Structure 1
């Protein structure tokens, strides 16, 4: 009887709070999306093998880096200003029209720069697959369309539609991969093409079912809106560039200094870690959308105290994962990747550390400290770059894995210090 009563109390607590309901929807959606993508990546890693999977993964990392030239920090402004102007529909629309105007210009410039420079990129990262670089450039535009749509839905608190968007693009990828593997013997170029097309196709389908549109005719905003954006844009741009490098620099460096096989093994480890990071990502979406509306010190402190439970969740989650690390590799991406078991443990540990970082980072969407994003990003990139360059010759892929976890620890330390100093100043 006590168990039933406790379960009913938990149910009441979960569904009583709007934030809890939103967290539940987005977490469920994220886990379904990640589950589908995990199956898709298991298919790819097993049928392609480490070497081809390495070639594929380098293209993906390159795409994410290139895509930031069509963004330059604009995406990070979306949750901040849509949260700030949450109840001002006209201002929100004007803001989004300006975002789209800028993104259109940046995308054109991106194509004009990177297509001619593809040969140079190939030599720079020791990657003799020009056709994969071409698809990475095209895919960078598609992923920006998806990222923009995702953030607009999140900022409007349309978490069900947001979840459906993620699930749909994952399903398109999984079905496409299955068909290609079955009928075309794992054609790498076709797999890559569908990987890049899926997010844009999902946005197109979902947009037909939205009551409030997410795309508008691009237009320059008023001086007032541009002035408010410019206060944060530079640091936002630098921060986004740094965060993208944090997620992809290690794979590009391994490709540059080792080989496609080692890159594939490390990429497999990174995929497992990315699945483990789903929880922190889904929680982050909800926290950022809500905390961006907080204006006073008391609310922020209360929010941070509640978020401290994530520290315990990170520790428990990592301890539960450890005994199953090698089994997880063997029965998911395949036994060919077992040489990367230790790297996988470090990368998964880094994902759980990221859970601790999420509520701290979310605070800076409302605090008047835009330099946080650029400085925090620079600290992590410098750590990954220096650590990997210094030790990759001696320790191989472990140099990148250890550098990644060291970067996250430094980021947590800097974030804690920054939050403390800002709140102390506002006291």
Structure 2
């Protein structure tokens, strides 16, 4: 809780309550994701789970492409609008752009799905599964928009309730799958992701329909498009960064499928699955911290923030190691001996994520000093290096080699960016 003292004392009580709400809802959502994929791994087996993991990986990557960094940019620009009306117009313009992107992805999902399935040639990865993954990615772009709007308004209660709703819908979906004993990767993708996402979006966006109705078509073409264009000038670097960074684990999985085997994809995906617990802390803290951190205007405030981070290092390391050891000990019990090789992959990934997530809390100051291009180029270099090394090492070292390469490159990039931020603040 020391990090929360970064805010002024008069806000500390409210923000601590918001932090706990966000942590609880994010933890619930990640727990449901964990349960979903753990059950899928157990029921589908390594080969079919590998297909499911590839389709899910493709869906998340398409979602990142569709988002193109607009989620972060929305938060960054929302606070700069000077009136409530201009803020709502800004959000509505971004929403209409999101809807347009979703429609394009939906219409192109079938032909692109056929093309990708033919190019990859991975057994079991049919065009229908790939097309469904693309549609899922389109829904993810709308989901990211909803979250960014709530974070922009700092409406953390609504953020938490929306996450909880999505989690409950997914739990109901899992219950249906277990009831009907489905062992189809396509069915698991549709029931556990597409349907809950669509229902959560309809309900959540429906509640905000009064705001959405304020948009006028004439104003959109005269004024609101100029708002979008100004945001896109900034988001080009954010897009490069988010696309490159998010593409790395997806590229690793696809390279493992092409250069290794579908079973190696399953082991890598399982390692990522059990490392998911770290994203709970990461998402929760960044949800609260990011709007505040990017608003810092003085170098001494940024340096004070870094000092706060350094003061909690021992607590963070102790907590993280306990989590890693606990998950490692229960992994075999949950998944069985089929996934024994995934335990070593999990250790490599989780220990790496320990460092990456903590360093990331410091390196988001890149956006405070308004140098998103640095983050973008670093992540592009990461993607290129990871792809080359995994392509070379995958046939011999499989999922473990891919995990070590992935984490080594990510940690190296974070360390360099932290050095860059400190150098800029020292000037």
Structure 2, unmatched stretches of 5+, are 1-8
CA RMSD of aligned residues (A): 2.6
Q: Is the 2:63–2:140 contact (alpha carbons within 8 Å) kept by the matching residues of 1? A: yes
Deviation for aligned residue 1:68: 3.2
Q: Distance in 2 between matches of 1:259 and 1:134?
A: 22
Q: What is the match of residue 40 of structure 1?
A: 36
CA offsets 1:58-112 (integer angstroms, 9 cap, x no match)? 0011112222342222222111112333x63222122212212332333344345
Q: Is the 1:78–1:151 contact (alpha carbons within 8 Å) kept by the matching residues of 2? A: yes
Q: Is the 1:45–1:333 contact (alpha carbons within 8 Å) kept by the matching residues of 2? A: yes
Deviation for aligned residue 1:354: 2.5
Q: What is the match of residue 4 of structure 1?
A: none
Change over 3 Å in CA distance of 1:157–1:130 after alignment to 2: same
Q: Distance in 1 between matches of 2:426 and 2:390?
A: 36
CA offsets 1:93-135 (integer angstroms, 9 cap, x no match)? 2221221233233334434555323233113333342111010
Q: What is the match of residue 47 of structure 2?
A: 51
Structure 1, unmatched stretches of 5+, are 1-12
Q: Is the 1:23–1:283 contact (alpha carbons within 8 Å) kept by the matching residues of 2? A: yes
Q: What is the match of residue 265 of structure 1?
A: 267
Q: Distance in 1 between matches of 2:14 and 2:251?
A: 38
Choose between structure 1 and 2: higher helix proportion: 2
Q: Distance in 2 between matches of 1:374 and 1:158?
A: 29
Instruction: Give secondary structure in 1 for the equivalent of 2:253.
Output: helix
Instruction: Give secondary structure in 1 for the equivalent of 2:425.
Output: helix
Q: Distance in 2 between matches of 1:215 and 1:297?
A: 41
Detail structure 1 runs of 4+ shifted over 6 Å in the superposition: none
Are residue 116 (structure 1) and residue 111 (structure 2) matched? yes
Q: What is the match of residue 103 of structure 1?
A: 98
Indicate which of 200, 221, 229 corresponds to 1:202.
200
Instruction: Give secondary structure in 2 for the equivalent of 1:115.
Output: helix
Q: Is the 2:245–2:379 contact (alpha carbons within 8 Å) kept by the matching residues of 1? A: yes
Q: Is the 2:93–2:227 contact (alpha carbons within 8 Å) kept by the matching residues of 1? A: no
Q: What is the match of residue 417 of structure 1?
A: 419
Q: Is the 1:80–1:366 contact (alpha carbons within 8 Å) kept by the matching residues of 2? A: no
Q: Distance in 2 between matches of 1:415 and 1:296?
A: 19
Deviation for aligned residue 1:167: 2.0
Change over 3 Å in CA distance of 1:299–1:70 after alignment to 2: same
Deviation for aligned residue 1:14: 12
Q: Distance in 2 between matches of 1:223 and 1:55?
A: 40
Instruction: Give secondary structure in 1 for the equivalent of 2:275.
Output: helix
TM-score by length of 1: 0.88
Q: Is the 1:314–1:353 contact (alpha carbons within 8 Å) kept by the matching residues of 2? A: no
Instruction: After superposing the two structures, state which structure 1 stretch, 344-353 or 60-69, moved more.
Output: 60-69
Q: What is the match of residue 330 of structure 1?
A: 332
Are residue 21 (structure 1) and residue 17 (structure 2) matched? yes
